[in-house]
RNA sequence: GGUGGCGUAGCCAAGUGGUAAGGCACGGGUCUGCAAAACCCUUAUUCGUCGGUUCGAUUCCGACCGCCACCUCCA
């Protein structure tokens, strides 16, 4: 069964076929580093991470580039407000971004280039555009001439910018130096108090869109397989990337465009003013675990809006606790040696198949998680009946390894030894239970519960777990 | 004004022209000395409303209602 993705470019679900055999080249628009990333940002980054993990899991060799936008209007504004040089200002948010990404188990892409380290590449690309008549200088800045690119609008369907009723007047007033209001800036003339780079285009700084074209081409070539990001980037950012890239090279830029829908918080667009704005740190400070946040972000397929609520994170915490306990019991299980017909191993194999098929189908994480739930139940039944064979155990563990490789939602195995005094109490309780001294046994259980250690009696003895 | 999307049980949510996955919560049960955990059962005759096409629609078409997004910085 092959992989399929919904391609924003064609608005259709298409079989995924890389340009070069088993090698996949992919570009993802990364963060603009002027503040802590919020969970909406991370919805997209978790989606990209799952895409990345799934491609690798299916055996593709991956070259994944994610840029860091470290120069733009907001960054300049906030760096100035903070009284810091641009690089020093962005450096700290780059660091915070990776801290958050690590907490969410987001894998590091192979290449994570920063815009300001690629000014020469951008200038060179703009030079090509001028050379082919697709760009022009005006008043110290350089603009892309949209009229030179007939395919403009293929991705977004927007043929014209400034078509908002009542909005076009403002656009025109600001942009009188352009030949056409739709044209966008490639290189901005230097401004007082702004970071400036010298270049053959004159002193100035890059416009927003050119960085992604320049860096994608540098690391991935002029044509590559996948370009992804949030839906809001479709227009103008990705539309402009296509225009400037394809105008310069005459070749198709990215073949598959994948866009993650936004998330809402409590059913509304997240905004600081509304008070429904969360960074990852906000959630960690409230005591939620990053993996639960990841689960929430991963559980809704990426093309659907996701309604984020704290209740949802709490439900995810409960869900993951059960799942992790099942995996732990499975790891510790001693398989039965009694020979018998092993139905479980076959059922598990089918479930693993379903999991992969769901993910192959445009990353249908909701359906994949249904398979995970089946796997969990199957394991628990076999375990409680004492019917888990070596083969079934191995298959089930492999199944959870699949889940972990692709979704990254499980806790790592971490065998933990209890302090000797607690072990002694557990032993004492066992003896008390054997002697039917239940009062003492319950007393010990309550005492340990107060310390966050839950005891569970089963037919193979007593297990403990953290509350 | 233009464009796109969504509306499925208390909540999150999958899905399909053929009779509604899964999770969380709730209730009942099995197991247990009692618990816990696990498991089982129950929970939408119904998929925003009204029409149409069809042997049959939640799934296709139309209208309407409600919500969201993009068209401007935004993941």
Same domain membership, residue A256 and residue A122: yes
Residue A231 domain-assigned (yes or no): yes
Same domain membership, residue A41 and residue A99: yes
pLDDT for the residue numbered A249: 96
Same domain membership, residue A459 and residue A350: no
Window 172-201 of chain A: CB closer than 7 A to strand B: none
Same domain membership, residue A86 and residue A39: yes
Residue nearest to nucleotide B15 (CA to C1'): A367
Window 289-308 of chain A: CB closer than 7 A to strand B: 299-301, 304-307
Same domain membership, residue A151 and residue A235: yes
pLDDT for the residue numbered A169: 36
Measured from the CB, is A207 under 7 Å from any atom of strand B?
A: no
Measured from the CB, is A98 under 7 Å from any atom of strand B?
A: no
Residue A161 has which token pair?
A: 């910018």
Measured from the CB, is A269 under 7 Å from any atom of strand B?
A: yes
Give the DSSP letter string of A333-385.
-----S----HHHHHHHHHHHHHHHHHHBT--HHHHHHHHHHHHHHHHHHHHH
SS3 state of residue A453: strand
Same domain membership, residue A100 and residue A124: yes
pLDDT for the residue numbered A1: 57
Residue A276 has which token pair?
A: 């429904």
Residue A104 domain-assigned (yes or no): yes
Beta strands A141-144 and A135-138 are antiparallel
Torsion region of A140: left, alpha or beta (phi above 0 gives left; psi -120 to 50 gives alpha): left
Measured from the CB, is A10 under 7 Å from any atom of strand B?
A: no
In total, how many domains does chain A have? 3
Same domain membership, residue A101 and residue A30: yes
Residue A249 domain-assigned (yes or no): yes
Residue A275 domain-assigned (yes or no): no
Same domain membership, residue A348 and residue A209: no
* Residues of the domain holding A159: 21-269
The C1' atom of B24 and the CA atom of A371 lie apart, in whole Å, by 17
ipTM of this complex prediction, to 2 decimal places: 0.93
Please tell me whether A212 is known to bind a ligand: yes
Residue A150 has which token pair?
A: 């007939």
Phi, psi dihedral angles at A162 (to 5 degrees): 65, 30
Scanning A177-309, the segments in alpha helix (DSSP H) are: 210-220, 239-249, 280-285, 290-299
d(CA A329, CA A338): 20
Nearest nucleotide over every DNA/RNA strand to the A296 CA, judged by C1': B12
Window 350-389 of chain A: CB closer than 7 A to strand B: 364, 366-367, 369-370, 373-374, 376-377, 380-381, 383-384
CA neighbor of A55 nearest in space, from A223, A297, A300, A226: A226
Measured from the CB, is A221 under 7 Å from any atom of strand B?
A: no
Measured from the CB, is A33 under 7 Å from any atom of strand B?
A: no
Residue A46: give its domain's CATH number.
Answer: 3.40.50.620
Same domain membership, residue A75 and residue A156: yes
Please tell me whether A237 is known to bind a ligand: yes
Measured from the CB, is A242 under 7 Å from any atom of strand B?
A: no
Residue A127 domain-assigned (yes or no): yes
Same domain membership, residue A252 and residue A154: yes
Residue nearest to nucleotide B40 (CA to C1'): A381
Question: b/e for A421-448, b at 16 or more Cβ within 10 A?
Answer: ebeebbeebbebbeeeeeeebeebbeeb
Identify the residue whose tokens are 């992604």.
A212
Same domain membership, residue A355 and residue A210: no
Cα–Cα distances in angstroms (integers) from residue A228 to residues A223, A242, A261, A300, A451, in the given order: 14, 13, 11, 17, 47
Residue A318 domain-assigned (yes or no): no
CA neighbor of A103 nearest in space, from A311, A299, A282, A229: A282
**Please, are residues A444 and A357 in contact by the beta-carbon 8 Å criterion?**
no
Question: How distant is the alpha carbon of residue A347 from its chain centre?
Answer: 31
Nearest nucleotide over every DNA/RNA strand to the A383 CA, judged by C1': B38
Residue A3 domain-assigned (yes or no): no
β-partners of residue A465 are: A454
Chain B positions within 7 A of any protein Cβ atom are 1-6, 11-15, 21-25, 32-40, 67-75
Q: What is the pLDDT along chain A (467 residues), one digit of tens a residue?
A: 589 999 999 888 899 999 999 999 999 999 999 999 999 999 999 999 999 999 999 999 999 999 999 999 999 999 999 999 999 999 999 999 999 999 999 999 999 999 999 999 999 999 999 999 999 999 899 999 998 998 998 898 876 544 433 333 334 444 567 888 888 999 999 998 899 999 999 999 999 999 999 999 999 999 999 999 999 899 889 999 999 999 999 999 999 999 999 898 888 888 777 778 899 999 999 999 999 999 999 999 999 999 999 999 999 999 999 999 999 999 999 998 876 667 899 999 999 999 999 999 999 999 999 999 999 999 999 999 988 999 999 999 999 999 999 999 999 988 788 889 899 999 999 999 989 999 999 999 999 988 888 999 887 788 898 88
Helices (H) and strands (E) in chain A, counts: 15, 15
SS3 state of residue A15: strand
Q: What is the pTM of this model?
A: 0.94
β-partners of residue A189 are: A204
CA neighbor of A389 nearest in space, from A326, A340, A430: A340
Same domain membership, residue A398 and residue A424: no
Residue A389 domain-assigned (yes or no): yes
β-partners of residue A263 are: A306
């Amino acid at each position: 069964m092959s992989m399929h993705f919904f391609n924003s470019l064609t608005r259709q679900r298409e079989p995924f076929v890389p340009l070069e055999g088993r090698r996949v080249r992919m570009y993802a628009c990364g963060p603009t580093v002027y503040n802590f990333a919020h969970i909406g940002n991370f919805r997209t980054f978790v989606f990209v991470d799952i895409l990345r993990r799934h491609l690798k899991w299916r055996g593709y060799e991956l070259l994944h580039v994610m840029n860091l936008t470290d120069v733009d209007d907001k960054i300049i504004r906030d760096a100035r407000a903070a009284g810091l040089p641009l690089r020093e200002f962005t450096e700290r948010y780059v660091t915070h971004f990776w801290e958050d990404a690590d907490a969410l188990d987001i894998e590091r892409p192979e290449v994570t280039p920063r815009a300001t380290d690629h000014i020469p590449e951008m200038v060179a690309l703009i030079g090509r555009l001028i050379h082919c008549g697709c760009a022009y200088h005006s008043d110290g800045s350089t603009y892309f001439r949209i009229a030179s690119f007939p395919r403009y609008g293929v991705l977004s369907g927007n043929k014209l910018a400034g078509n908002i009723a009542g909005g076009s007047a403002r656009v025109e007033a600001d942009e009188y130096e352009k030949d056409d209001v739709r044209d966008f800036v490639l290189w901005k003339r230097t401004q007082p108090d702004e970071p400036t780079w010298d270049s053959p285009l004159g002193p100035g700084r890059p416009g927003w869109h050119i960085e992604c074209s320049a860096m994608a081409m540098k690391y991935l070539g002029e044509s590559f397989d996948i370009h992804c990001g949030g839906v809001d980037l479709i227009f103008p950012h990705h539309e402009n990337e296509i225009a400037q890239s394809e105008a310069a090279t005459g070749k198709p830029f990215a073949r598959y465009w994948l866009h993650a829908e936004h998330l809402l918080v409590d059913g509304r667009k997240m905004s600081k003013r509304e008070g429904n704005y969360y960074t990852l740190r906000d959630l960690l400070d409230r005591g939620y675990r990053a993996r639960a946040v990841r689960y929430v972000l991963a559980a809704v397929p990426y093309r659907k809006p996701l309604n984020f609520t704290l209740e949802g994170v709490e439900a995810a915490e409960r869900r993951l606790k059960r799942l992790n306990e099942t995996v732990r019991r499975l790891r510790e299980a001693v398989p039965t040696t009694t020979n018998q017909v092993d139905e479980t191993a076959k059922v598990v194999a089918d479930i693993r198949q379903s999991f992969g098929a769901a993910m192959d189908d445009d990353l249908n994480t909701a359906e994949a998680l249904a398979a995970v739930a089946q796997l969990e139940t199957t394991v628990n039944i076999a375990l409680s009946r004492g019917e888990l064979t070596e083969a079934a155990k191995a298959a089930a563990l492999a199944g959870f390894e699949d889940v972990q490789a692709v979704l990254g939602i499980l806790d790592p195995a971490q065998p933990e030894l209890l302090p000797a005094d607690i072990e002694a109490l557990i032993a004492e309780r066992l003896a008390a239970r054997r002697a039917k001294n239940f009062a003492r046994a319950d007393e010990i259980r309550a005492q340990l519960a107060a310390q966050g250690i839950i005891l569970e009696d089963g037919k193979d003895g007593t297990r403990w777990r953290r509350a």
